Structure 1
């Protein structure tokens, strides 16, 4: 069997910004960056930034009730 080749472009899909953010946050996003402050080619300050952004579903977190906290 030979695969069928299609020369037609795929149709464009409109994706809402909310849907895009939901997809990104469900899997997680890592943002990294470096900032270097220098004078006359001498590095004075170097800052490395890393951020992990994910969504937290409420069903995975244990709930603390008032009764549980009162038993101390």
Structure 2
């Protein structure tokens, strides 16, 4: 694993490559309410990873 220093330039492609190599979990909740009454609640969960990372030996599902 390569560490990135704050003064290093990092392109979008490099960032995406690092995220897919290790995987990233994104979670979030959105609630729309009116007068303290919840009208809409959306819960988001996403796992972003490359297929190669998911199929590596030693992973939880492999």
Structure 1 residue runs of 4 or more that deviate by more than 4 Å after TM superposition: none
Which fold has the larger relative contact order, with Cα–Cα distance below 8 Å and residues 6 or more apart in sequence?
Answer: 2
State the superposition RMSD in angstroms. 2.0
TM-score when normalising by structure 1: 0.57
TM-score for both structures, normalised by structure 2:
0.64
* Structure of larger gyration radius: 1
- Write 1 or 2 for the structure with the bigger share of strand: 2
* Aligned length in residues: 49
Q: Which runs of 5+ in 2 are unaligned?
A: 56-62
